[in-house]
């Protein structure tokens, strides 16, 4: 198991060294340095504990990709996750919301962290609409599938599979949910929320379309005898999915610190471990071994999407979000173990 986490451990050492250097530079004392290190460690642990469902879902996509694109997800995707979501994304929010240039936004984050936090937090309604809608589409697409044969919560999943015969039923259901939440908001916030939610749905459709076009192209080339091993569509999908998972983590991190550098270091450690966990799940064949684990992860995604949408109106603690996801995945794992035990007993009896 160590081989899967070796890179993550080295990355953690580098980040902790940077945190210690930054803490000493900002405070000039051992106490200040220790405080920064502690916050970075806590942020990384929270990110890891809240993102296990992310790793399981990533693994379901990643196992269909060849080893080259798996490595690219761990390397290029890591750069996108760290610099894109943990640094550039919050800076972009501040730049747009405050009408500042990129360098001015960076200057604000380093020199006036309280104002930086206020501006990022003020964009929560739009982030909740976009991220919640995208995650909900990911989860609903898995269950609204007429070809799906394995069901965990059979009485519900079988009905969803049947309803999937109605074209775009999952989109209609999500649009009703967006409208319901928007009715609880002020007119300005409701408009922002609905636009963001629709953009989240459109982004999901666009990513799916890119993947479909690439798959059709590869099939045509295979028919001509060419050897194709591209996972670009899945790579794009994974990174958008990972970004949606990261929205609440980035916003929630301000509960511990409003310093951009500290937040980026802590969440980046967590993101690296989640990627290593994803690779381990793929290489060890864990998803195939545990029949319902994938179902639990997608139910957790739907729950997280619903929580993000509702968070536009209600404050929902991060602990509750993580607990719901962990409970659903834990139950699906337990159910899978029971299924394996029953099958093994049946075989032995036969």
**Most confidently modeled range among 56-60, 65-69, 190-194, 335-339:** 190-194
Over residues 141-166, the mean pLDDT reads 85
- Least confident residue range of 79-88, 125-134, 276-285: 79-88
For the chain, give me the number of helices (H) and strands (E)?
A: 16, 0
Tens-place pLDDT, residues 104-119:
877 877 777 777 777 7
The answer on pLDDT for 229 being more than 60 is: no
Q: Which residue has the higher pLDDT, 44 or 226?
A: 44
Farthest-apart Cα atoms in the chain, separation: 72
Task: State the pTM of this model.
Answer: 0.74
User: Taking the domains of the chain in order of start, what are their residue ranges?
Assistant: 2-349
pLDDT at 4: 76
Decide if 59 contacts 282 (C-beta within 8 A): yes
Residue 110's closest CA among 265, 247, 262? 262
**Most confidently modeled range among 118-132, 158-172, 266-280, 307-321:** 158-172
Question: What's the angle, vertex CA 275, arms to CA 274 and CA 276, rounded to 5?
Answer: 90
Residue 252's closest CA among 327, 317, 326? 317
Decide if 349 contacts 302 (C-beta within 8 A): no
pLDDT at 194: 94
Tens-place pLDDT, residues 48-90:
766 666 777 777 777 777 777 777 777 777 777 767 777 777 7
Query: Is the C-alpha dihedral spanning 220, 223, 226, 232 positive or negative?
Result: positive
DSSP symbols for 303-336? HHHHHHHHTTTS---HHHHHHHHHHHHHHHHHHH
pLDDT at 55: 77
Residue whose token pair is 């300005």: 188
Question: What's the angle, vertex CA 62, arms to CA 128 and CA 218, rounded to 5?
Answer: 110
């Amino acid at each position: 198991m160590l081989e899967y986490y070796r890179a993550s451990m080295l990355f953690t050492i580098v980040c902790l060294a940077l945190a210690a250097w930054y803490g000493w530079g900002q405070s000039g004392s051992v106490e200040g340095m220790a405080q920064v290190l502690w916050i970075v460690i806590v942020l990384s642990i929270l990110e890891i504990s809240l993102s296990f469902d992310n790793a399981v879902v990533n693994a379901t996509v990643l196992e269909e990709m060849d080893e080259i694109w798996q490595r690219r997800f761990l390397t290029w995707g890591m750069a996108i996750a760290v610099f894109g979501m943990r640094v550039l994304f919050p800076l972009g929010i501040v730049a747009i919301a405050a009408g500042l240039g990129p360098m001015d936004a960076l200057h604000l984050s380093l020199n006036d962290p309280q104002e930086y936090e206020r501006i990022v937090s003020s964009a929560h309604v739009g982030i909740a609409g976009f991220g919640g809608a995208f995650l909900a589409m990911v989860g609903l697409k898995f269950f609204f599938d007429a070809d799906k044969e394995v069901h965990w919560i059979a009485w519900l999943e079988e009905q969803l599979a049947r309803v999937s015969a109605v074209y775009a039923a999952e989109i209609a259901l999500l649009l009703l949910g967006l409208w319901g939440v928007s009715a609880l908001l002020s007119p300005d916030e409701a408009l922002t929320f609905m636009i963001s939610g629709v953009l989240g749905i459109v982004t999901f459709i666009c990513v799916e379309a890119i993947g479909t076009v690439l798959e059709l192209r590869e099939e045509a080339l295979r028919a001509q005898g060419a050897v194709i091993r591209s996972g670009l569509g899945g790579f794009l999908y994974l990174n958008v999915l990972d970004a949606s998972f990261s929205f609440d983590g980035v916003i929630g991190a301000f509960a511990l610190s409003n310093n951009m550098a500290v937040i980026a270091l802590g969440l980046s450690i967590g993101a690296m471990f989640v990627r290593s966990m994803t690779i381990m799940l793929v290489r060890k064949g864990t998803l195939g071994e545990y029949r319902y684990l994938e179902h639990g992860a997608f139910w957790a995604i739907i729950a997280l999407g619903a929580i993000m949408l509702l968070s536009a109106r209600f404050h929902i603690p991060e602990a509750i979000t993580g607990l719901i996801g962990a409970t659903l995945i834990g139950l699906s794992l337990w159910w899978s173990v029971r299924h394996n035990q029953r099958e093994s007993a049946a075989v032995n009896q036969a």
